[in-house]
Amino acid sequence: MAGPLIPYIIRRTVKWGECDPAGIVYTPRFLDWILEAAESFFADIVGVDWFQLNQRDGLGSPSVSTKIDFRKPIKHGDPFSICVLVRKLTRSTITYVMRGRNGAGELCFEAELVSCIIDHRKMKSVSIPDHIRQPILDYQAATAAILEGETTT
């Protein structure tokens, strides 16, 4: 696993179209960003993007639960980052923790996303295949201190 991917962080800047007329981010955009971060994490850490997972492997990764706690507003033009961590990996689910920080490093939101690996033909959960499970386990082990220590990522 490459060093720059530990911890896995997405960086971006808030666009005007993501805001209300007062320039504060629309609440639904946070869910979009969380899903985009999970998709990027999956492609970069696991090495399989969600399209390949779907088309080649016949699997999907739908969300089954989300939770977002807001701490500080994010406004138009603000740079921010989302750090992706893995809290739990079960037979068929991945529980992500995502922390969004503004350019000053202040925690603006924390989210939890639970995704389930499913077989598209059966529309049922399946055991996470080893080629997906192992890179996630490796990442989880490499970032466990960040999650446990509640450090500033």
Identify the pLDDT of residue 69. 97
Q: What percent of the chain has pLDDT over 70?
A: 94
Using pLDDT thresholds of 50, 70 and 90, give the confidence band for residue 3: very low
Question: Looking at the predicted structure, is the pLDDT value of residue 149 above 80?
Answer: no
Rounded CA separation 81/83 (Å):
6
Query: What is the predicted pLDDT for the residue at 36?
Result: 97
- pLDDT score recorded for residue 150: 59
Looking at residue 145, what is its pLDDT? 92
Please give the pLDDT value at position 2. Answer: 43
102-136: per-residue pLDDT in tens?
999 999 999 999 999 999 999 999 999 999 999 99
Q: How do residues 23-36 score in pLDDT, each as one tens digit? A: 999 999 999 999 99
Over residues 37-58, the mean pLDDT reads 95
Domains contained in the chain, CATH given: 7-143 (3.10.129.10)
**For 59-96, what is each residue's pLDDT tens digit?**
999 999 999 999 999 999 999 999 999 999 999 999 99
Secondary structure of the chain as H, E, C letters: CCHHHCCEEEEEECCHHHECCCCEECHHHHHHHHHHHHHHHHHHHHCCCHHHHHHCCCEECCEEEEEEEECCCCECCCEEEEEEEEEEECCCEEEEEEEEEECCCCEEEEEEEEEECEECCCCEECCCCHHHHHHHHHHHHHHHHHHHHCCCC
